[in-house]
Amino acid sequence: MSPGASGSVGVIIIMGVSGAGKSTIGRLLGGKINWPYRDADDYHSPANKDKMHRGIALTDEDRRPWLEAMAQDICTTVKSGSHMVLACSALKQQYRQSLEAGLRAEEKERVKVVYLRADFAAIAERLNSRSDHFMNKNLLASQFETLEEPGEALIIDATLAPEKIVATIVESLDLSQPESP
């Protein structure tokens, strides 16, 4: 999952810790390039959402059905030649690999990861101003402990303005679409 030419891009995964701006960037990017947007939060079970709301970190077993459901959507999207922007924490390398389950090597090339990176203080400040999300801000430390920064990804400073982040993704992944006549 590395940056590359858009002719082959089918799925863009916007990853990072809670509060990095994944949903905001995912929605803006999807709108900019006219691709469907999906949020990994929508794939969580009510039990997982409740655990996170109560400040209980999810286990890998809790995450398994969540990752499988997203992997199925990614597989369907890539194999059908469609497109999708997915906002997903994808904090561990094994999670990112799970998201590509069912894809052949050449199909995996159609999946690109964009990592929104920021330090703990910047993200904590964002989360302190948030009141409309089920994720308990006390779990931020565990997210940073779990985070395995990707080796092959487009890495962008999450503290930049959202429009700048989207423009960087569009340019870096060559996603600009030719104007209609």
In this prediction, residues 21-39 reach a mean pLDDT of 97
pLDDT digits over 111-154, tens only? 999 999 999 999 988 887 765 544 555 678 888 999 999 988 99
Which pTM value belongs to this model?
0.87
* 6-172, CATH topology level: Rossmann fold (3.40.50)
Question: Residue 10: is its pLDDT beyond 80?
Answer: yes
**In this predicted structure, what is the pLDDT of residue 180?**
41
**In this predicted structure, what is the pLDDT of residue 62?**
93
**Tally of CB atoms within 10 A around 117:** 19
State the chain's mean pLDDT as an integer. Answer: 88
Residues 6+ apart with CB under 8 A from 170: 29, 32, 33, 176
pLDDT digits over 150-168, tens only? 988 999 999 999 999 999 9
